[in-house]
Amino acid sequence: MSEKRLQKRDEISDEYKWKLEDMYETDELWEAECEKASQIAEKLSGFKGHLADSAATLLDFFKKQDELSYYLERIVVYANERSHQDTAVSKYQAYVSKAETLTVQASGALAFASPEILQIDDKRLESFYSESNELMHYKRAIDEIMRQKEHTLSAAEENILAQCGEMAAAPENIFSMFNNADIKFPYITDVEGNKIRITHGNFIDFLSSKDRSLRKQVFRGVYDSYKKWSNTVSMMYISKLKNDTFYARVRKYDSARTMYLSGGDIPESVYDNLIETVHAHLPALHRYMALRKKLLGVEHLHMYDLFAPIVDNVQTTYTYDEAKKLVAKALEPMGDEYVSTLKAGMESGWIDVYENENKRSGAYSWGAYGTHPYVLLNYADNLDSVFTLAHEMGHAMHTYYSNEHQSITYAGYLIFVAEVASTCNESLLMHYMLEHCEDENERKYLMTHFLDGFRTTLFRQAQFAEFEHIAHRKMQKGEPVTKDVLNELWYELNVQYYGPDMRVDDEISYEWMRIPHFYTPYYVYQYSTGYSAAVAFSKKILEEGKPAVDKYIGNFLCGGCSKNPIELLKSAGVDMSTPKPVDDALNVFEDYLKQFETATK
């Protein structure tokens, strides 16, 4: 019996690794910039009590703040990405800690600014704008501070909260180390007799196996592992809920949700519209589960059957080189400039491709202003990995365009729009593959992938959103929040979402424990809203061509945070303040479901 193991970092060819040297050629340069950032933060403290002195002083403050943001972004991204490529390297764990300390130092140095700006008389501020055209560049930033006036504390109180930053980050940091470096899943034996350890990277791949006993073995192996640590992991998340509730109360928000959505000026009705609209379409998801049960030919459909192939005899292996070509071809409707930049990025060190021992799980795109974006993958030669490449390069291209067309003040697009460009790329890729598919069986396979994309993104992320909102509400109301309460809540949501044809296994109660996004509160709903907006944009791009592309790239991708997210999307042609985009997207799901039901009769 042979044993397959993960490659170590140094065993992977450099052509499949990102080039973090493009950000800092040496670690010593990173350390030097840490010192520089610390000095700038100290200088910013010197503005305390003087922001209302003159237009020139206020302008100088904002310029210095931009300079600090430039260095801090680079420092934080580099430290984390060095750590993520091998989470067991203590040097880079220390770098992450140092970057967090610097961030807290910067927050402390700037704590006086918002309260002080809020004290500037409106007429005096208007006179500043009249005196300085340069200061007008910062008017939107100042207006955003004014919008938060009710929730901004005194300078002393803001400084105290800033000093609490490292402590407040503890639940997320502890969970990250636990989930990426400490928890170990059991070994399983595959059909060829190979002994393989289950990892975050191969978990879904195993659940996609045709071997049901293997799926069941892997499913139980993972969730039994979380069950053993369930008291510890529950306390991590409960601590996070307490943090959020504390900050919401201190800042005089009605709830943690109000607090988190206010950052992007997102109406809470958008969140509620999403959940209500998804609930209205749950019968369609239940129909899909009934069809999955029928096609698998099982007496009871189990949670470990969700990724099992229900269409046979199709190519499901794609090398990384094949994936790059396929993604570039599928995105040709985006225009020559977009595609040429995309190709250059995929060939010039933007991407860290393969899983290695202790590498951070999952995938993301992350960059710092002034350098190209970076993409972390754990590529696994399957169709999901192809779509992940398209998805993360959508993020990267959004970052690229925003950085190219906005100053550092407004380049960072807000979370609400963060998943639109990525999912639009996925939608265009699916359209291309379906259009160029000649084999009927392969077409059915792609339709299942498309339907599962809706299930795992629009439906599942709405389920995540519902879970964390209920958990936060319970904490806010002073109701008991324990491991058992959270497990029961997650179990019941699975029953509700997957319907009567799904046998919801007891082990699924522990699934919420492996979701890192819960430590970035009120984030996941934006996967669902973003997916809906992306379906709308991809439809416009395919139907209207260049005018829609120009509007999408020019008004949206290049927009950064130069406008409120709802207005930014509206300017590009999609109004997310209404339930319509979500409803329209779910109608697309139902249309494809009908086609698939007909094709499999």
Q: Map out the domains of the chain with their CATH numbers.
A: 9-168 (1.20.140.70), 184-228 (1.10.287.830), 234-315+408-601 (1.10.1370.20)
For the segment 180-188, the average pLDDT, to the nearest whole number, is 93
Q: Tens digits of per-residue pLDDT, 249-282?
A: 999 999 999 999 998 899 999 999 999 999 999 9
Contacts with 25 (C-beta within 8 Å, 6 or more apart), sequence order: none
Q: Tens digits of per-residue pLDDT, 114-133?
A: 999 999 999 999 999 999 99
Q: Which two tokens mark 423?
A: 């999912």
Contacts with 347 (C-beta within 8 Å, 6 or more apart), sequence order: 324
**pLDDT(35) > 50:** yes
**pLDDT(391) > 90:** yes
Give the pLDDT of residue 4.
Answer: 63
**How does residue 192 score in pLDDT terms, banded at 50, 70 and 90?**
confident
Q: Tens digits of per-residue pLDDT, 334-350?
A: 999 999 999 999 999 99
Give the pLDDT of residue 553.
Answer: 98
Give the Cα separation of 485 and 497 in Å (integer): 18
For the segment 466-478, the average pLDDT, to the nearest whole number, is 98
Give the pLDDT of residue 2.
Answer: 46
Determine contact, residues 462/275, Cβ cutoff 8 Å. Answer: yes
Q: How crowded is residue 11: how many other Cβ atoms within 10 Å of its Cβ? A: 10
Q: Tens digits of per-residue pLDDT, 19-30?
A: 999 999 999 999
Give the pLDDT of residue 336.
Answer: 97
For the segment 504-529, the average pLDDT, to the nearest whole number, is 95
Give the pLDDT of residue 313.
Answer: 60
Q: What is the CA radius of gyration of the chain?
A: 24
Q: Tens digits of per-residue pLDDT, 448-461?
A: 989 998 999 999 99
Residue identified by tokens 């170990």 is 184
**How does residue 487 score in pLDDT terms, banded at 50, 70 and 90?**
very high
Q: Tens digits of per-residue pLDDT, 346-380?
A: 999 999 999 999 999 889 999 999 999 999 999 99
Check 392, 419, 426, 466 and give the catalytic one. Answer: 392
354: left (phi over 0), alpha (psi -120 to 50) or beta: beta
42 flagged as catalytic: no
